[in-house]
């Protein structure tokens, strides 16, 4: 019955709605570029969401753990074979995204008789200088975007648009402390906006672009702080630094909570 064009479009719209529903309970993931490197941050309930892919490339994911694993392996295989047969310098997030992830995710999304990937992915690539940092995000339908300074995964891609003005108020970040502070704040806003946006990337017909999704009001400072305090007391803060100053080929470093604790602003610290 899906041979008819209308049926196929309807099936894709249904699939979009189904996928949007899957992400509503997920935690957003923030990536910011700053002078020392790229900081990736999210909260998890036990299963990690940020992984090392190659010497200067990290992956952050949102969605079903099994799908994320499958896509992670696709990237690992591609990156390591490329790095081995050519050079580590030839392994770039741009090529991994455009030649590796995007075609696979898009094909799975459009093959309506098969299960799609329940996954949104952020790929961060550390440059030798900050200007060369890149953050790629890809949606469950294979649509990807490239950013230089700030990347976000959230249930609705409209959240990123809402966060853009907030990001611009911070200017350039010069330390791990400022990068962590801003990332936590952006994460808090994204989380609250996500919770208040009922139909993320999809209207009834499934044809309205995400930029026109319902606009929520920006949460106030107390609401943001309260949200982060709540998360710090209930879930695990997951934070990774791609460190430009490591002095080594491999730049990926997971930051532990005790390491981060001194940098977390007191207003975000849960009451002991």
- Assess 43 for contact with other proteins (CB under 8 A): no
Selected from 24, 35, 80, 143, the binder of other proteins by CB under 8 A is: 80
Tell me how far, at minimum, the Cβ of 58 lies from other proteins, in Å. 10
Tell me how far, at minimum, the Cβ of 253 lies from other proteins, in Å. 12
- Assess 73 for contact with other proteins (CB under 8 A): yes
Pairwise CA distance, residues 270 & 272, whole Å: 6
* Dihedral over Cα of 35, 36, 40, 41: its sign: negative
- Assess 81 for contact with other proteins (CB under 8 A): yes
- Assess 77 for contact with other proteins (CB under 8 A): yes
Check if the beta carbon of residue 155 is closer than 8 Å to that of residue 178: no
Q: Point out which span in 46-54, 93-101, 108-116, 256-264 binds other proteins (CB under 8 A).
A: 46-54
Residues 116 to 145 in contact with other proteins, rule: CB under 8 A: none
- Assess 51 for contact with other proteins (CB under 8 A): yes
Judged by CB, which is closer to other proteins: 77, or 221? 77
- Provide CB contacts within 8 A for 123, sequence distance 6+: 53, 57, 58, 59, 75, 93, 96, 97, 101, 135, 136, 137, 138
Binding site for other proteins (CB under 8 A): 48, 51-54, 72-73, 76-77, 80-81, 83-85, 250
């Amino acid at each position: 019955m899906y041979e008819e064009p209308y049926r196929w479009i309807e099936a894709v719209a249904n699939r979009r709605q189904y996928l949007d529903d899957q992400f509503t309970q997920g935690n957003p993931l923030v990536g910011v570029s700053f002078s020392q490197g790229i900081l990736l941050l999210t909260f998890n309930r036990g299963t990690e969401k940020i992984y090392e892919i190659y010497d200067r490339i990290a992956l952050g994911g949102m969605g079903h753990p099994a799908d994320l694993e499958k896509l992670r392996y696709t990237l690992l295989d591609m990156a390591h074979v490329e790095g081995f047969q050519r050079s580590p310098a030839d392994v770039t997030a741009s090529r991994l995204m455009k030649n590796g992830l995007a075609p696979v995710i898009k094909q799975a999304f459009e093959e309506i008789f098969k299960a799609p990937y329940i996954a949104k992915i952020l790929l961060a690539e550390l440059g030798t200088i900050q200007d060369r940092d890149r953050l790629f995000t890809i949606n469950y339908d294979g649509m990807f975007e490239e950013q230089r300074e700030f990347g976000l995964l959230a249930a609705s891609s409209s959240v990123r648009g809402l966060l853009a003005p907030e990001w611009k108020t911070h200017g350039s970040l010069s330390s791990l402390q400022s990068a962590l502070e801003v990332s936590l704040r952006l994460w808090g806003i994204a989380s609250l906006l996500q919770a208040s946006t009922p139909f993320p990337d999809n209207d009834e017909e499934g044809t309205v672009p995400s930029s026109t999704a319902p606009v929520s009001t920006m949460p106030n400072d107390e609401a943001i702080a309260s949200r982060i305090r709540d998360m710090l007391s209930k879930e695990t803060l997951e934070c990774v630094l791609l460190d430009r100053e490591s002095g080594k080929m491999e730049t990926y470093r997971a930051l532990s909570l005790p390491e981060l604790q001194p940098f977390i602003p007191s207003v975000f610290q849960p009451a002991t």
